């Protein structure tokens, strides 16, 4: 049986959010769309693509079984199933790549260490010119 990438993705989502997938899905249903909802949607799309790969692989194996006769009519079914399998694999790989990249960018990080407050150096105050002297000079 092939390795399921969706299982790995589910584990990474659970690790990132610190809760089982079922709990996260229940929580996301009552929330506005956000990163968790996007990750869960990507996970479900990936799981569906994996199911599609499995289905088409098994169907192709049935169509080309050694005990089965392959005539002109069956060839078109074999080719169509092979095409669908190739599409399902491409979708699965694209979904896995996208969700993995997003998860990689969302790794838990520690907050920045607080830096000491910079010492404030007060600039010497410049006295304003007296209002009376300034208006008397302007009048002259």
pTM to 2 decimal places = 0.68
C-alpha 124/C-alpha 6 separation (Å) is 65
pLDDT string in tens for the chain (140-residue length) = 456 789 999 999 999 888 999 999 998 887 888 899 999 999 999 999 999 999 999 999 999 998 888 888 889 999 999 999 999 999 999 999 999 999 988 866 444 444 454 444 444 454 555 555 445 555 55
In sequence order, what are the residues at sequence separation of 6 or more whose Cβ sits closer than 8 angstroms to the Cβ of residue 99?
9, 39, 42, 43, 46
Structural domain contains residue 126 = no
Which residues span the domain enclosing 36?
5-106
Structural domain contains residue 120 = no
**Considering its fold, how many domains does the chain have in total?**
1
Grouping H, G, I as helix, E, B as strand and the rest as coil, residue 109 is coil
Structural domain contains residue 129 = no
């Amino acid at each position: 049986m092939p390795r399921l990438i969706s299982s790995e993705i589910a584990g990474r989502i659970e690790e990132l959010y610190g809760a089982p997938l079922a709990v996260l899905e229940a929580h996301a249903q009552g929330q506005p769309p956000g990163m968790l909802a996007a990750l869960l949607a990507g996970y479900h799309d990936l799981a569906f693509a994996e199911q599609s790969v499995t289905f088409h692989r098994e169907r192709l194996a049935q169509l080309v079984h050694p005990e089965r006769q392959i005539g002109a009519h069956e060839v078109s079914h074999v080719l169509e199933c092979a095409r669908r399998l190739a599409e399902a694999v491409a979708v699965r790989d694209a979904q896995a790549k996208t969700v993995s990249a997003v998860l990689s960018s969302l790794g838990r990080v520690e907050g920045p260490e607080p830096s000491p407050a910079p010492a404030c150096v007060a600039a010497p105050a410049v006295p304003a010119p007296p209002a009376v002297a300034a208006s008397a000079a302007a009048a002259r």
